[in-house]
Structure 1
Amino acid sequence: MKDTDRIYGIRAVMEAIHAHEDIDKIFIQKGLKSELSRELETLIRKKNISVSYVPIEKLNRITKDNHQGVIASISPISFYKMEQLVEEVVAKKDLPLFLLLDQLSDVRNFGAIIRTAECTGVDGIIIQKKGAAPVTADTVKTSAGAAFKVPIAKVDHLKDAVFYLQASGIKVIAATEKTEHTLYDVSFSEPCAIVMGAEDTGISPSLLKASDATAKLPLLGEIASLNVSVACGVFLYEVVRQRR
């Protein structure tokens, strides 16, 4: 975390929240108890901001300045509102392509996916506010700057995004090994959104159930899965192939 990526101090963080800064995560010292810290925690819950309670040693490693037990990580990009993003894309494109990332946690995987998304014409990426990998300087670097080019929206619950996309005429396809269909059995020649799951747990059962279709990659070796950024690239380029 660089100095430009963080805000520290309880009042400073509260002011940043009130000013609608794009805060990815707030780190709070374990056991911190004061009227002001309780006010901050109430504000965090109200705004549904991701928070981690950590030992003071972690905060001291981040900065030598007086952090008062609170440090906020600020995103280097601005996020879109999901509804506005979908409406704008649907209005101007016949074949929209969206990408939903379910609890992806590695910032470098996230950056690699954003880079591939830009190269394959993805119109927008949708992530969940809590639990998702933050957009950090490392994410931007790994994306080769694509994080500034591909619109990214945050939502409280990805399931709500799935329902909104479906209501907008967009087919939602979940990438999962829990299916008999390969991605070569699925048609991407229509407005669609691809859901990619977390590195360790995959796509949540509720999202799988809500999706219109499921598809997997054929694996011919002994290893059971691909890295999520690689798998995402294969899916996105199959979309490109079908739409050419």
Structure 2
Amino acid sequence: MEDNLTIFGIRTVIEAIQSGKNIDKIYIQKGLSGPLFMELMQIMGKRGFNLSYVPVEKLNKLSNGNHQGVVAKISPVKFRELEEVVQEILEDETKTPLFLLLDQITDARNFGAIIRTAECTGVHAIIVQNKGGAPVNADTVKTSAGAVFNIPLIKVSHIKDAIYYLQASGIKIVAASEKTETSLYAVDFTQPTALVMGSEEKGVNPSVLKLADQKVKLPMYGTIASLNVSVACGAFLYEIVRQRL
């Protein structure tokens, strides 16, 4: 059965996967077993779905129906392929590439707000990881004010793989981090750039930070040591806009 962007029931989820639906996240009851469940796991295979194993109470809240231990969220947008989008942007000589990589942003409203700002500031594509990030749900769509339909969204198995590909394509990786002395305003953003923003609680993963060509921070003068990630992202993106005007 289907309710807005949520589907539930093992067979329904299997059919959605087989028909090519854009599955954003799958919630599975802890300890679930049985032949139909095994069929689902086999069909999912190594595709890298965003899975979350949760108590049955969580599934009851999500589905309001006979979920059989499985609920899935279908994305209202179609995700693009990294290589395809990067080549499109590089081939357009009128554009200076600007990509945004989100390292496991978990709040759907933050995600939506970032998408909205990215669309307004001319970001060419947003790259997220298959697992661990916020789903593209009704909250995301609403908070983005529809921008989610106007900017390419890309899902990759690992953020690090995307970074390697972007670097090989001549795009500089700049990571937002408090663990640096380099100010945002000391960096040249007029060249092809990919900005990496980290999760709300942990920031950019240390293993991802190591791959960045530059780590930069926002100057902070208050007693609170950090900004909301969507606000911080806006500050970074508008400095890029300022430099490219």
**1:133-144 to 2 correspondence within 5 Å?**
133-144=134-145
Tell me which residue corresponds to 1:71. 71
Equivalent residue letter for 1:192: T
Shift of 1:62: 2.3
Q: 2:189 corresponds to which residue?
A: 188
Whether the aligned pair in 2 keeps the contact of 1:94 and 1:191 (CA below 8 Å) is no
User: Could you list the runs of 4 or more consecutive aligned residues of structure 1 that deviate by over 6 angstroms after TM superposition?
Assistant: none
Provide the secondary structure at the position in 2 that maps to 1:40: helix
Q: Supply the distance in 2 between the matched residues of 1:144 and 1:64 (Cα, whole angstroms).
A: 28
Question: Does structure 2 conserve the Cα–Cα contact (< 8 Å) formed by 1:25 and 1:49?
Answer: yes
Q: How does 1:45-124 map onto structure 2 within 5 Å? A: 45-92=45-92, 93-124=94-125
Query: What's the secondary structure of 1:43's corresponding residue?
Result: helix
User: Residue 64 of structure 2 aligns to a residue in which SS?
Assistant: coil
Aligned equivalents of 1:161, 1:30: Cα separation in 2:
31
Tell me how far apart the structure 2 counterparts of residues 227 and 155 of structure 1 sit (CA, whole Å). Answer: 24
Q: 1:45 Cα deviation (Å)? A: 4.3
SS at match of 1:113: helix
For the 8 Å contact 2:22–2:74, the answer to whether it is kept is yes
1:19 and 2:26 correspond? no
- State TM-score, norm by structure 2: 0.96
User: Is the aligned partner of 1:211 residue 2:223?
Assistant: no
Q: Which residue of 2 aligns with 1:238?
A: 239
Mapped to 1, the partners of 2:64 and 2:219 lie a distance apart of 50
Q: Whole-Å Cα distance in 2 between the matches of residues 102 and 5 of structure 1?
A: 24
- Deviation at residue 9 of structure 1 after TM alignment: 1.3
> 2:66 is matched by which residue type in structure 1?
N
Identity %: 60
> What is aligned with 1:177?
178
Measure, in 1, the Cα distance between the counterparts of 2:45 and 2:206.
25
Shift of 1:37: 0.5
For structure 1, the residue ranges without an aligned partner over 5 or more in a row are none
SS in 2 for 1:225: coil
User: TM-score when scaled to structure 1?
Assistant: 0.96
Alpha carbons 2:175, 2:214 under 8 Å: kept: yes
- Asked whether the 8 Å contact 2:167–2:173 carries over to 1, the reply is yes
Tell me how far 1:7 sits from its aligned partner. Answer: 1.6
Q: Distance in 1 between matches of 2:64 and 2:217?
A: 48
Is it true that 1:128 corresponds to 2:139 in the alignment? no
Deviations 1:110-168 (Å, cap 9, x if unpaired)?
00000000110000000000001111110010001000001100000000101111111
Q: Deviations over 1:178-203 (max 9, x none)?
A: 11100111000111010000111111
Is contact 2:7-2:63 (8 Å) kept?
Answer: no
* Contact residue 25 and residue 135 of structure 2 kept, 8 A: yes
The AA in structure 1 aligned to 2:68 is: Q
Number of aligned residue pairs = 243
Larger displacement relative to structure 2 (223-232 or 34-43): 34-43
Q: How does 1:21-40 map to 2 (within 5 A)?
A: 21-40=21-40
SS of match in other structure, 1:210: coil
Verify the 8 A CA contact 2:6 2:63 in the aligned structure 1: no
Structure 1: distance between partners of 2:11 and 2:216: 48
Counterpart CA distance in 1 for 2:78 and 2:159 is 19
Could you list the runs of 5+ residues in structure 2 that have no partner in the other structure? Answer: none
Please report how far the alpha carbon of residue 80 of structure 1 lies from its aligned counterpart in structure 2 after TM superposition. Answer: 0.6
In structure 1, the partner of 2:163 is: 162
Q: CA RMSD in A?
A: 1.2
Cα distance in 2 for residues equivalent to 1:155 and 1:137: 22
Provide the rounded CA distance (Å) in 1 between the counterparts of 2:225 and 2:112: 23
Partner residue, 2:43? 43
Secondary structure of the corresponding residue to residue 24 of structure 2 = strand
